[in-house]
Structure 1
């Protein structure tokens, strides 16, 4: 008897689909067109409501490595889509833009600030790759930082 009473409750608790779903491939294409570069595909497990208005796209973050995608209608949704690093793309090998031993600038940024200091790359890396670096202090411990562009690596603080 209890078994039969649970089934109707489970059906009531199941989420109901409230209309058509957004086309995730269309979101991928919109982000790539906005950024001018390939984006990491949106997770196909997402079930977003279709948006009746045009999507609003904008850069998110100081490095411009993520795109904010919003459905601007009331009750809409918001996604943050990372751009695909060159090493994430199939069939493409990323050329290192920082070589081991290069003099670099190490940038640390957070909410409302950014500081940098000179350092040395302890590994080679392509743009977007995480490498080991150290400051010019001979007693400094190695750090891990992301390659931003030739000669510049950085990390974000929460």
Structure 2
């Protein structure tokens, strides 16, 4: 079934934009569980995304061995890559999180795109920080790309508070 859906995605008559409903269904098949169920995608893929149509089948993989998110990517179509969060099972075997809705509630951003941010890394015995600029909005605990002056590429950080982000632990 997954190969059939992936074939549809790769069909030459496909529109210039990837059908996100088909990606949603393919993610459910890859995960082996439906949207909102334990082990399945937490929420549908954001319909505001306009992903270039993939000339071959998109690649599906687990982000980590914990199976906490699915990575869907298409190296040929501009190299797009998206992450689909997976609902983890609670200790009693049911889906963790609110049962009323598969769409999680999103906290208000503490960092907004363009905000100056103090980027810090702290370990026992030392602390280092640098000034950066946020490249996107981020709620507390969410990952955010920040641009550090003099660096070639953005750095991934975790939003902590207004104007403050931490480097993730390695």
Whether TM exceeds 0.5 here: the answer is: no
Q: Which has the higher Rg, Structure 1 or Structure 2?
A: 1
- Scaled by the length of structure 1, the TM-score of the pair is 0.42
* TM-score (normalizing by structure 2): 0.39
